[in-house]
Structure 1
Amino acid sequence: MTNISKLFFPTILLIALTFCGQTPKSFDNGAYVVDPSIKSRIDKKVKSFNGVTMSSMDFKLFKNDSILADTYAKGKSIDECMTMTSLDGDTINIIGFMGMFAGFGYQIALFKDACIVRHFAKSDVEIYKLKKTDSLSFGVSVPCKTYKLTLVSKPTFKKGDIVEGIIELMSDEYYAAANGNERKYKMQLTGYFKTKPLASSAESYQKTN
């Protein structure tokens, strides 16, 4: 694995373990769509550099109900995003991430006929919380008001499988506090991804050593 992947992996692994440790509610589960025609869109958005596959995102970030940042309006995607994936039993975990030690992205737990999708944000200081009454933490995993996951083909859930798709989501509201000021955020995001051949979490970690 390349040096950039080695830098990302511990951060992404921590996010994955946090996500997998959560108990989703029944309404978090949603079906995904299979549509081979999206492959041409993904091929335009996902590129490889020196053996590292870089995915891309478009996003609109709201702060206190006002738009703070909007790549949709600018027509320029963020194309330096990492995708980390693992196959754990009958679940494929996919994490798309922009940033390194601080940033944001999406989390997908993919099952045979359904999926759970969350938005997440992470910082190197304790600024985030999901609810106003929560304590501040380094990161937050946020349920989505709506999401749609479209895949190029139905996964086989076998080692070596490659998953390609587009995730579209609108997150619930969450909070960040800095310098005594607390603000409300929510995220609209579209992510384009192509995974490496699927391996278990343990195997993925071993490849970084």
Structure 2
Amino acid sequence: MTPSTADHAPRAQLSVEEFEQLARSAPETVTLELINGMLEVKPLPDGDHDEIIMWVAMQCMQQQPELRLYRERGLRIGGYRNGRARPDGTLARASRFAGDGEWSSPDHILMTVEVTSHDHDTDRRDRTEKRDGYAAASIPVHLLIDRDHETLVVYSEPEKGRYRQRTAYGYGDTVPVPGPVDITLDTEELKDYAR
């Protein structure tokens, strides 16, 4: 079977200015990101995805009440601030984004959270490109909740655009999230969202 041209179509490279103009004019039902200079369309989350993000938010706020997990917060990421991403969750102290516009600096962000989607781009986008963008932005911790593999992967210690530490856990494990987050996730509930 011959692959279709759509499977191998090159992604258009945009400048940050072009991207921001496009993102401002996109309908509310479309979420756009700029990862490594390439335009990305973020899929709409399903119900389990939403429940997992709320689960992370509750765990964080119960253990560190001064923290908030902001959904879909626009961040400038990547080397030389050349990317724009909307993590599923951005953990920061309360009021961190007060006065910011649509795209915020990654300064004082404690952790980003991504929950994989069930689409063909999730491997490249969620498991690789966005993770590397968060590391390049020196975000101290990145949490990937990988629904395909029923794992949580904690990345920490960003250095030279990569996370030096990577630790994977299965659903049901107790997951220590290192500083500056300093919480422990009880992941038993995630089994309810396994498909």
Please indicate, yes or no, whether the TM-score normalized by the shorter chain is above 0.5.
no
Bigger fraction of residues in helix? 2
Structure with more strand by fraction: 1
TM-score (norm. length: structure 2) = 0.31
TM-score using structure 1 length: 0.30
